[in-house]
Amino acid sequence: MGISQFFKVLGLACRSFVTAFKKPTEAQLFIEEKPEKPAQSQEASHLKLLYYLQHSGRLIDFLKEEITSFSDAQVGAAVRKIHQDCAQSLEELVTIRPLRMENEGATVQIHKGYNPAEIKIVGNVKGEGPFTGTLVHRGWKAHKLSLPKKMGENTNDVICPAEVEIK
């Protein structure tokens, strides 16, 4: 640190001391205030999951590809491999199971006091239940969450790095 930089820092420190001396309540709040963590430094689990689905089955590549020019047979062949690889990764990382065990189309009873986070009632809904209806979708629930803490060398928002082959 040079001499001019030293005096700048010393001047800032003195002004800060005087301000804190004049306004002790604000100074105390400033000291106690916890700085917010920047969003970029927190690894989001949804990006981790995308990373693994891209890594195992190239799911993002497929979803971002313009497929209208390909034949149904070409799309079907690509989807089969993507489905197999992504399903395996999903099972290893999250383990998703149906919320309802009945087959779709079955008649089901929904009791009063049901959990609306688990069951979405649609159609001609009157009153508070119990309800009798047709199961349109069984729903999904995560039973095991095992996403690793780190994604390797990737930065927080990079799901898959660009790949360049040198010849």
The tens digit of pLDDT for each residue in 114-136 reads 898 999 999 988 888 799 999 99
158/21: higher pLDDT:
158
Instruction: Specify whether 151 is located in the same domain as 81.
Output: yes
Same domain, 48 and 83: yes
Q: Taking Cα atoms as reference points, which of 147, 68, 136 lies closest to residue 106?
A: 136
Same domain for 24 and 9: yes
Residues 47 and 91 in one domain: yes
**Share above pLDDT 70 across residues of the chain, in percent, rounded to a whole number:** 71
- pLDDT of 144 above 80: no
Domain presence at residue 166: no
Domains held by the chain: number: 3
Q: Which two tokens stand for residue 48?
A: 């981790």
pLDDT of residue 49: 83
Q: Please report whether residue 151 resides in a domain.
A: yes
Same domain, residue pair 26 and 8? yes
Residue 102: per-residue pLDDT? 95
Give the pairing of strands 131-134 and 140-142.
unpaired
Confidence (pLDDT) at 21: 66
What is the rounded distance in angstroms from the CA atom of residue 155 to the CA atom of residue 51? 11
Position 167 in a domain: no
3-state secondary structure 109-144: EECCCCCCCCCCCCCCCCCCCCEEEECCCCCEEECC
Which pLDDT score is estimated for 43? 55
Q: What angle do CA 87, 96, 59 make, to 5 degrees?
A: 30
In this prediction, residue 38 carries a pLDDT of 47
- Give the contacts of 135 (CB within 8 A, at least 6 positions apart): 100, 102, 103, 104, 105, 106, 107, 108
Is-contact 124 134, C-beta < 8 A?
A: no
**pLDDT confidence bin for 85, thresholds 50/70/90:** very high
Average pLDDT, rounded, for the chain: 79
Percent of the chain scoring above 90 in pLDDT? 29
Give the range of the structural domain holding residue 148, as residue numbers without chain letter.
Answer: 41-95+144-161
Report the distance separating Cα 167 and Cα 157, nearest Å. Answer: 29
Question: Are 159 and 54 within 8 A, CB to CB?
Answer: yes
Is 155 part of any domain? yes
**Contact of 98 with 140, CB cutoff 8 Å:** yes
Higher per-residue pLDDT: 42 or 6: 6
pLDDT value at residue 42:
47
Determine the pLDDT at residue 132: 92
| Band of pLDDT at residue 154, cut at 50, 70 and 90 | very low
Q: How large is the average pLDDT for residues 27-49?
A: 61
Report which residue type is found at 85: D
Is the same domain home to 90 and 152? yes
